[in-house]
């Protein structure tokens, strides 16, 4: 709180007129970030496109704010913030459009958001390392390639992956994200079809 007060040109004690404590401040900050996530309306019953758009937006927001991964676990009541509640309400409605019960919609929402947060947290860690290097992502990845190739030699599958040209690093990250999300939504679609 002292550091924040100093950056704002105010005493730390004056911040307590606005928030009760650091925990409340973190909850407000997390909710503010959640407010940047887009949840589109369903057009012509295409729930999957809407969920994919929301997941991609959440990933982009989390990558734009890489520090958030370190505070998510500390923001205990952030789920009660108006932005996160709006997000969750709209996502539940999307999943209900598939024929899910409200409880199933809640489970589907939890699974998708856990995937997005987990993937984006890993990506954010990578991007933070890249930023510290002062080099563009592709250049940093290219510079690491010889070390990666050498380190994976005793592991044939990892070595095969490491020595396969995957092209643009940023594009590969995006493709990997969408591959996992698509498989998750395939599973939900299959489950709903069996019902």
pLDDT at 77 over 60: no
In a domain, 26, yes or no: yes
φ and ψ of 189, to 5 deg: -60, -45
Q: What is the pLDDT of residues 110-137, one digit of tens each?
A: 999 999 999 999 999 999 989 999 999 9
Question: Both tokens of residue 167?
Answer: 């092209």
Task: List all residues 6 or more positions away from 27 whose beta carbon is below 8 Å from its beta carbon.
Answer: 75, 76, 77, 78, 80, 81
The total of structural domains in the chain comes to 1
Question: Both tokens of residue 18?
Answer: 């606005």
In a domain, 169, yes or no: yes
CATH code of the domain covering residue 127: 1.10.357.10
Can you give the pLDDT at residue 22? 73
pLDDT at 23 over 60: yes
Range of the domain at 43: 2-134+165-194
In a domain, 156, yes or no: no
pLDDT at 66 over 80: yes
Q: How confident is the model at residue 30 (pLDDT cuts 50, 70, 90)?
A: confident
In a domain, 148, yes or no: no
In a domain, 157, yes or no: no
In a domain, 86, yes or no: yes
Query: Is the Cβ–Cβ distance between 83 and 32 less than 8 Å?
Result: yes
In a domain, 158, yes or no: no
* Average of per-residue pLDDT values in the chain: 86
Within 13 Å, how many C-alpha atoms sit on residue 79's CB side?
7
In a domain, 122, yes or no: yes
φ and ψ of 91, to 5 deg: -65, -40
**Among 37-51, 68-82, 173-187, the least confident range:** 68-82
């Amino acid at each position: 709180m002292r550091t924040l007060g100093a950056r704002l040109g105010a005493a730390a004690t004056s911040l307590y007129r606005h928030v009760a404590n650091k925990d409340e401040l973190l909850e407000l900050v997390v909710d503010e970030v959640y407010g940047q996530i887009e949840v589109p309306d369903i057009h012509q019953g295409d729930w999957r496109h809407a969920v994919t758009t929301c997941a991609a937006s959440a990933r982009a927001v989390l990558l734009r704010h890489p520090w958030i991964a370190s505070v998510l676990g500390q923001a205990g009541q952030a789920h009660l913030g108006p932005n996160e509640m709006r997000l969750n309400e709209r996502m539940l409605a999307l999943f209900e459009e598939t024929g899910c019960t409200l409880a199933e919609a809640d489970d589907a929402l939890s699974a998708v958001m856990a995937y997005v947060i987990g993937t984006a947290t890993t990506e954010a860690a990578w991007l933070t390392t890249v930023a510290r290097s002062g080099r563009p992502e592709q250049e940093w990845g290219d510079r690491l390639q010889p070390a990666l190739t050498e380190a994976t030699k005793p592991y044939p599958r990892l070595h095969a992956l490491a020595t396969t040209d995957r092209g643009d690093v940023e594009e590969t990250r995006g493709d990997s994200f969408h591959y996992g999300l698509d498989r998750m939504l395939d599973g939900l679609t299959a489950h709903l079809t069996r019902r």
